[in-house]
Amino acid sequence: MSNSPVVLGIETSCDETGLGVVAGTELRANVLASQVDIHARFGGVVPEVAARAHVESIRHLTHRALSEAGVHQADLDGVAATQGPGLVGALVVGFTFAKSLAWALGKPFIGINHMEGHLFAPLLGDPAFAPPAIVLLASGGHSQVVHMKEWGDYEILGSTIDDAAGEALDKTARFLGLGYPGGPAIDREAENGDPAAISFPRALPDRPYDFSFSGLKTSLITYVRQQRDAGTLPPIPDVAASLQEAIVDVLVAKTFNAVDATGVKVVGGGGGVMANSRLRTRLQEEADKRGVTLYIPPRDLCTDNGAMIAVVGAHKLERGEVTDLGADVDAGLSL
Ligand code: KG4
Ligand code: ZN
Question: Helix, strand, coil: what percent of the chain each, to 5?
Answer: 45, 20, 35
Write out pLDDT tens, residues 93-114: 999 999 999 999 999 999 999 9
Contacts of 247 (CB under 8 A, 6+ apart): 165, 168, 169, 213, 216, 273
Q: What percent of the chain has pLDDT over 90?
A: 95
Q: Which residues have CB under 6 Å of ligand 1?
A: 14, 139-141, 166, 169-170, 181-184, 187, 271-273, 275-276, 303-304
Cα distance between residue 176 and residue 220, in whole Å? 10
The one-letter amino acid at 205: P
Among 82, 169, 211, residue to substitute to test ligand 1 (most atoms within 8 Å of Cβ): 169
Write out pLDDT tens, residues 278-310: 999 999 999 999 999 999 999 999 999 999 999
**What does the pLDDT average to over 53-62?**
97
Q: Is the pLDDT of residue 37 over 90?
A: no
Q: Select the more confidently predicted residue: 2 or 211.
A: 211
User: What number does the ligand 1 atom closest to the CA of 302 have?
Assistant: 1
- Which band of pLDDT confidence, cut at 50, 70 and 90, is reported for residue 122? very high
pLDDT for the residue 41: 84
CA of 284 from ligand 2 middle (Å) equals 22
Among 175, 186, 279, 303, residue to substitute to test ligand 1 (most atoms within 8 Å of Cβ): 303
Lowest mean pLDDT among 25-34, 35-44, 227-236: 35-44
Per DSSP, 233 falls in state: P
**What does the pLDDT average to over 211-229?**
97
pLDDT for the residue 43: 78
Cα distance between residue 202 and residue 137, in whole Å? 18
Name the residue among 292, 272, 224, 282 with its Cα closest to residue 250: 282
**What does the pLDDT average to over 196-202?**
97
Per DSSP, 179 falls in state: -
Q: Is the pLDDT of residue 2 over 80?
A: no
pLDDT for the residue 201: 96
Q: Is the pLDDT of residue 1 over 70?
A: no
Q: Is the pLDDT of residue 42 over 90?
A: no
Sign of the Cα pseudo-torsion (305, 266, 277, 177, in order):
positive
Q: Is the pLDDT of residue 225 over 60?
A: yes
The sheet that has 266-270: what strands, in order across it?
153-159, 143-150, 133-138, 266-270, 293-295
- Which band of pLDDT confidence, cut at 50, 70 and 90, is reported for residue 44? confident
Answering whether pTM is above 0.85, one says yes
Write out pLDDT tens, residues 131-151: 999 999 999 999 999 999 999
Q: Is the pLDDT of residue 333 over 50?
A: yes
Q: Whose CA is nearest to atom 14 of ligand 1?
A: 183
pLDDT for the residue 45: 87
**What does the pLDDT average to over 315-330?**
98
Which runs of consecutive H residues, i.e. helices, occur in 27-140? 36-40, 47-69, 88-105, 114-120, 122-125
The reply to whether omega before 181 is within 30° of 0 (cis) is yes
